[in-house]
Structure 1
Amino acid sequence: MRNLVYYIASTIDGFIAGPDGADPTGPDGFWPIPEDYIQHLVAEYPETLPGQARAALSVTAEGTHFDTVLEGRRTYEIGLHAGTTNAYPHLRHLVFSRTLTESPDPAVELIAEDPVATVRELKKEEGKDIWLIGGGELAGALYSEIDTLIVKLSPMTIGTGVPLFSDKAGFDPRTWDLTDHTVLNSGALFLTYSRRTA
């Protein structure tokens, strides 16, 4: 059975974007991306690089973690505003939205149904794990279905912004086991947690 993996960059104070929800790593972003961070992504998570970044870095590796990416409408629209209709053409790409009625890209699947039911069906399919890219609203809605957290922890704080999980998660304390970690010289941490089931 496939796992749902919330693979996401976060600040130390638990935010994945600024208050406006814009791409924090974009041209006007505040999030630094050191060279060793990019090298680690290329080596360990090449499928999580957007298509344009893969082309610029000459990355052709298929990757071993994910073959499907899920995102909410707001996260997807960040790419749309930058002129990209499918940031991940190398993955099966699902966007959850009740307001978008027609996909801007033939390879991007729009899902208006309940994300929990959709993810439960996806988990039954053959393949690699499912990458939940965000944002916080969708992560909150899928809180109960997340099997693994991979937090790319940036050595910064921003005070306020879009939290790791929206309040759609509700109050539901869960315990996670740290199963892997990588510390980069730039100060970024890659922390992998598996949900404790017992």
Structure 2
Amino acid sequence: MNDHDLTYHVTYHVAATLDGFIAHDDGSFEGFSWDEAVVGDFLADLDAFGTVLMGRKTYDVGLKEGKTSPYPTMRQVVFSRTMAESPDSAVEIVREDPVEFVRDLMAAADAPVWLCGGGELAGQLAGAGLIDRVVVKLNPVVFGSGIPLFGVGAGQVMLDLEETKAYDCGVVVLRYVVRRKA
């Protein structure tokens, strides 16, 4: 199976530290290891997705760098209760409940959906059983604190390891399928 298989509607594809953080407390992610192979494989993975989901804090990271439309080849959805309007016509701001929005999205999706981040959004969607696959780019670094991989609400989520790939820079990509309750 691969990310092109529509069996997996929502994939949480994210970088994380050994101690389970996707960013520092301020949302920055200095310290993650990247090389051409990691970036190349990541960009190839992105080709599978038709929609990207982001929490406001995740979107703000690129916005601070002037990137108003970070993933122009996809439908871009940002969940925010506070953002009044989108700084870019290509980015949709959703103020409604993310769980209900994603349920409706999945019912109509014609391509897999990428959950880019953040941890709070991942927790909500995992808790509702809406994440089908988790892909973690595990980085050889410890932050000590920061934004957790999954926020409150995820509950216990059982995963089945599907594939691993190690890179020379020390990153290990772990691909999991969410185990559904029988």
TM normalised by structure 1 equals 0.82
The structural deviation recorded for 1:100 is 0.9
SS of aligned partner of 1:66: coil
C-alpha distance in structure 1 between counterparts of 2:68 and 2:169, whole Å:
32
The structural deviation recorded for 1:139 is 1.1
1:8 corresponds to: 14
2:148 corresponds to: 163
C-alpha distance in structure 2 between counterparts of 1:32 and 1:183, whole Å:
12
Structure 2 gap ranges (5+): 1-5
2:100 corresponds to: 117
* 1:87 equivalent in alignment to 2:70: yes
TM normalised by structure 2 equals 0.88
1:52 corresponds to: none
Within 5 Å, which residues of 2 pair with 1:141-152?
A: 141-143=124-126, 144=128, 145-152=130-137
Within 5 Å, which residues of 2 pair with 1:1-198?
A: 3-22=9-28, 24=29, 29-42=30-43, 44-45=44-45, 47=46, 63=47, 65-143=48-126, 144=128, 145-169=130-154, 172-197=155-180, 198=182
The structural deviation recorded for 1:162 is 0.7
SS of aligned partner of 2:142: coil
> In the alignment, is the contact (CA less than 8 A) between 1:36 and 1:186 conserved in 2?
no
SS of aligned partner of 1:167: coil
How many percent of aligned residue pairs carry the same amino acid? 43
The structural deviation recorded for 1:106 is 0.7
> In the alignment, is the contact (CA less than 8 A) between 1:150 and 1:193 conserved in 2?
yes
State the Cα RMSD in Å: 1.5
The structural deviation recorded for 1:13 is 0.8
